[in-house]
Amino acid sequence: MNIRKSSNDWQGKIVGEDTAFETFVSPAYGIRAGAKTLLNYQKFYGLNTVNQIISRFAPASENNTNAYATHVADYLGVGLNEPITVKDRIYDLVTVIILHENGYNPYDTQVINSGVSLALA
């Protein structure tokens, strides 16, 4: 998952060559950061629809947010503006975001499960 560089002291964060996005010691820690971000959108900002979540995660200034949100909603089997509980759908949310951002999912279920488990701990 693409997490913009910030002053956040993410677990597993390392110095990397990418000037725009965070680099992590392993994919699981990058997934953890992405999952934490999504969980916090609901916890702190009350974002509870795919449209709200993706509009914040992948703003229109950088993405085709409507296509992105539609892909995520279709994958989850929910409407764009249908409320979801992020914690209950976090594995699927992370998976489809990785798929959308990369065009494929390079991680097996164990890596994603590990990252999600770290986020929920």
- The C-alpha atoms of residue 100 and residue 94 are separated, in whole angstroms, by 10
Please write the tens of the pLDDT for every residue from 42-66: 999 999 999 999 999 999 998 999 9
3 domain residue, yes or no: no
DSSP-derived secondary structure letter, 15: -
Mean pLDDT of the chain: 96
What's the rounded mean pLDDT across residues 14-24? 93
Domain region containing 39: 13-120
6 domain residue, yes or no: no
88 domain residue, yes or no: yes
Residue 1 predicted with pLDDT over 90: no
Please write the tens of the pLDDT for every residue from 60-119: 998 999 999 999 999 999 999 999 999 999 999 999 999 999 999 999 999 999 999 999
CB 80 within 8 Å of CB 73: yes
8 domain residue, yes or no: no
Give the number of other Cβ atoms within 10 Å of residue 30's Cβ: 24
